[in-house]
Structure 1
Amino acid sequence: MSGKDQTRRAQRRSSQRGGAVKSFLFFIGGLALLAAIALGVGGYLGYREAVKPGPSRENTIVLLPPGSAVSTIAHQLEDVGVIEHPEIFIAAVRLRGVQSEIKAGEYEIPARSSVIAIIDQLREGKSILHYFTAPEGRTTAQIIRLLNENDVLEGEVSIEPGEGELLPETFAFTRGETRDNLVRRMMKDQDALIDAIWDDRAMELPFSTPAEAIILASIVEKETGVAEERPRIASVFVNRLKKGMRLESDPTIIYGLTQGEPLGRGLRLSELRGETPYNTYVIRGLPPTPIANPGKASIEAVLNPADTDDLFFVADGTGGHVFAPTLREHNANVAKWRSIERQRATQGGK
């Protein structure tokens, strides 16, 4: 074979190899392009699924326990009918890198929420709020009973707060909060209130400690349910304490008899005269403990009572009281009240 023929054959082989390489590269490139297209189409379809309105036709409540994996949450959301495709939820969470931001809790998912909207709601952690109200003037035992009756709170009450150590308020909480924690909040709130207002108390009050203020506030709380009367009721007791007079408060006697449970009848003369630590018709000064848990208004009232000379008060027949600085005026007011009572008795209690 001549040299020219060998050269031409080598060129043909080289051309064939180059063509094969080009064909292979073209094939690989085609596959990559197809893959990219597929990924793009898949990503677009996934995004469209994630932002479209969800299947639920009404608001839906779902409880996500602490420590739940994203996949568990996804299937739970599917089970309650707020998403159709758990894999879309999982992919969206992972693509956004928010796995650690999904918060446990009880949520109300609005109707037709998209996957993205649900993820944002769970990231914000805006759980459903529940409310517990501790009424003013209830004893600690009564408030604990109310806590135990609440079916959203969890756990037993193991804390033993003393009488008057809870601040009655309405408390917001989320499902899963313990009864003990709510008790701690009530105790902490009362401490914070006293700390905030103690230094601004009136001068020359007949008590020197926050504990004594709470005792007197509990008596004011039990004596009236009329908010605007509290500073004036407080002034009567403050004036009596300053003069060394007995407080003569019926609710203190009842507490000594029943620990604050309703007596269900009027006080007997023997009970008015009975020697107990809580009978303020017999003892001078304050009883040994509060007789209830006073609210903020009653605590503020005893720290800054109305400026009056009043020493007496009696019911006026309208739910409030009439006040007097002297026994003579008080006796006249009592006579009027007795007349109202007799009239009501003859009218069948109207």
Structure 2
Amino acid sequence: MSVKQFSGWSKGVILLALVLVALLLGGWQGWRWWLGAIAPATQATHSGNPPEDAAVQVEIPEGSTAQQIGETLKDKGIIRSTEAWNLWTRWQTLQNRPGSFQAGTYALSPAEPLPAIADQIWRGEVVQNSFTIPEGWTIRQMAEYFEEQGYFPAEEFMAATQDIPRDRFPWLPENLPMLEGFLFPDTYQFAGELTPELAIDQMLRRFEQVALPIYDEGRSPYSFMEWVTLASIVEKEAVVQDERPTIASVFARRLREGIPLAADPTVEYGLGIRQTVEQPLTYAQVRQPSPYNTYINPGLTPTPIAAPGLASLEASLNPGDTEYLFFMARYDGTHIFSRTLAEHEAAKRAVDAELTRQN
């Protein structure tokens, strides 16, 4: 949005001011002053030391006048002279240049001459930062990422995800305890300061744009909440793209037949842990009571357990029939699918034997 332009200066007054400056300083001396005033505030350095000409982030608030912008730039060490800035910007007005200075956050270097800096703000070339949320991340992982990137503390994000903005996103399920599963994984651009609320709004808006139409246009046997929850479990189980539909179909068949899903990621989520090849889930952990333990609780988990990507959402919308009831992870991302418990037990022994050979 535009910043207020200065007003009240007639062409005659501005030209008179320029003449007076020249007369006061003396012809050649006045010209030298002007060249020095619009020159870069620092010279570029190519030494191994931190550069004095490094770009500085400068916030131009909405409603700033041209004079206020010049004062901000002088305070930040971006320009040498506010007088030169004012004369330059007034001269630009005389040229009837279309547009105006733009509010926003800018990366400005004191090694750039004053006209180049003014042009950057006039054209609105604001800083564009980005953050990336991969598929399958939990809210906790997102929070830790934002903190590591220096955006805001993890706990602030965690707290913000418990504030359900149904006033702006009325499609969010009722009685949702947190936004797990609805923060769409993607890369997002932003200008200025990133807050938990801004990040959440961007991710919810992307879910609304990308994921919501899939459910609205498809015929799913699941409620909206069930669909996202199933997709989140598929997301955590599937690594190989081609296996997502099969994994979703196995879970769908188990749900229809009342067989527990027995999905390791749900146990991990409930316990707040992550198993590895070196430290797999123990029998005690698999049997530990938790609303998210799908070994001992039939049906889906109370809420999604991660952020499902588009492929998992599509695979989980209306899974097809399958002859499989089981699958066993190979630790390389692929799975062995089995029809019977006997086949599944054989697959387990095969994976254990393979792991023993590798060690």
Q: Considering the TM-score relative to the shorter chain, is it more than 0.5?
A: yes
d(CA) in 1 for partners of 2:156, 2:356: 48
Indicate whether 1:131 and 2:130 are aligned: yes
d(CA) in 1 for partners of 2:236, 2:207: 18
d(CA) in 1 for partners of 2:223, 2:316: 12
d(CA) in 2 for partners of 1:326, 1:124: 66
Q: Corresponding residue for 2:70? A: 74
DSSP 3-state at the match of 2:336: strand
Q: 1:247 aligns with which of 261, 265, 274?
A: 261
Q: Assess, with a 3 A threshold, how the Cα gap between structure 1 residues 88 and 307 changes in structure 2: closer, same or farther.
A: farther
Q: Which amino acid aligns with 1:61?
A: V
Q: Assess, with a 3 A threshold, how the Cα gap between structure 1 residues 196 and 262 changes in structure 2: closer, same or farther.
A: same
d(CA) in 1 for partners of 2:156, 2:101: 29
Q: 2:228 aligns with which of 201, 214, 220?
A: 214
Report if aligned partners of 1:313, 1:322 keep a CA contact under 8 Å in 2: yes
Q: Assess, with a 3 A threshold, how the Cα gap between structure 1 residues 92 and 183 changes in structure 2: closer, same or farther.
A: same
Q: Corresponding residue for 1:86? A: 82
String of CA shifts for 1:185-240, please: whole Å, max 9, x gaps.
22232233332211343x5x5x4211101111111122133334322221221232
List runs of 5+ in structure 1 lacking aligned partners. Answer: 1-34
Q: Assess, with a 3 A threshold, how the Cα gap between structure 1 residues 37 and 227 changes in structure 2: closer, same or farther.
A: closer
Indicate whether 1:60 and 2:55 are aligned: yes
Give runs of aligned pairs for residues 149-160 of structure 1, distance below 5 A: 149-152=148-151, 156-157=156-157, 159=160, 160=162
Q: Corresponding residue for 1:341? A: 355
Q: Corresponding residue for 2:48? A: none
d(CA) in 2 for partners of 1:317, 1:263: 11
Report if aligned partners of 1:246, 1:284 keep a CA contact under 8 Å in 2: yes
d(CA) in 2 for partners of 1:222, 1:178: 27
d(CA) in 2 for partners of 1:327, 1:126: 62
d(CA) in 1 for partners of 2:151, 2:287: 45
Report if aligned partners of 1:61, 1:106 keep a CA contact under 8 Å in 2: no
Q: Post-superposition shift, 1:78?
A: 4.0
Q: Which amino acid aligns with 1:338?
A: D
d(CA) in 1 for partners of 2:152, 2:105: 13
Report if aligned partners of 2:266, 2:293 keep a CA contact under 8 Å in 1: yes
Report if aligned partners of 1:60, 1:80 keep a CA contact under 8 Å in 2: no
String of CA shifts for 1:264-321, please: whole Å, max 9, x gaps.
7433334434444322222222122112222233222212546643322112343322
Q: Which amino acid aligns with 2:205?
A: K
Q: After superposing the two structures, state which structure 1 stretch, 314-323 or 324-333, moved more.
A: 324-333
Q: Corresponding residue for 1:24? A: none
Report if aligned partners of 1:218, 1:293 keep a CA contact under 8 Å in 2: yes
Q: Assess, with a 3 A threshold, how the Cα gap between structure 1 residues 318 and 306 changes in structure 2: closer, same or farther.
A: farther
d(CA) in 2 for partners of 1:302, 1:76: 53
Q: Which amino acid aligns with 1:64?
A: E
DSSP 3-state at the match of 2:253: helix
d(CA) in 2 for partners of 1:127, 1:38: 35
Report if aligned partners of 1:53, 1:114 keep a CA contact under 8 Å in 2: yes
Task: Give the alignment's TM-score, normalised by structure 1.
Answer: 0.72
Q: Corresponding residue for 2:170? A: none
String of CA shifts for 1:61-119, please: whole Å, max 9, x gaps.
24134255433432443455543433222122233348993234332336854433322
DSSP 3-state at the match of 1:101: coil
Q: Post-superposition shift, 1:136?
A: 2.7
- Count of aligned residue pairs for this structure pair: 306
Report if aligned partners of 1:50, 1:115 keep a CA contact under 8 Å in 2: no
Task: Give the alignment's TM-score, normalised by structure 2.
Answer: 0.70
d(CA) in 1 for partners of 2:130, 2:182: 20
Indicate whether 1:309 and 2:323 are aligned: yes
Indicate whether 1:262 and 2:274 are aligned: yes
Q: Assess, with a 3 A threshold, how the Cα gap between structure 1 residues 229 and 126 changes in structure 2: closer, same or farther.
A: farther
Q: Corresponding residue for 1:225? A: 239
Q: Corresponding residue for 1:29? A: none
d(CA) in 1 for partners of 2:284, 2:156: 40
Q: Corresponding residue for 2:191? A: 174
Q: Assess, with a 3 A threshold, how the Cα gap between structure 1 residues 80 and 275 changes in structure 2: closer, same or farther.
A: closer
Q: Which amino acid aligns with 1:168?
A: P
Q: Corresponding residue for 1:106? A: 105
d(CA) in 2 for partners of 1:328, 1:237: 19
Q: Assess, with a 3 A threshold, how the Cα gap between structure 1 residues 68 and 120 changes in structure 2: closer, same or farther.
A: same
Indicate whether 1:195 and 2:194 are aligned: no
Q: Corresponding residue for 2:114? A: 115
Q: Which amino acid aligns with 2:82?
A: P
Q: Post-superposition shift, 1:328?
A: 4.0
List runs of 5+ in structure 2 lacking aligned partners. Answer: 1-15, 24-29, 45-52, 163-177
Q: After superposing the two structures, state which structure 1 stretch, 217-226 or 80-89, moved more.
A: 80-89
Report if aligned partners of 2:233, 2:304 keep a CA contact under 8 Å in 1: yes
DSSP 3-state at the match of 1:235: helix
Report if aligned partners of 2:77, 2:110 keep a CA contact under 8 Å in 1: no
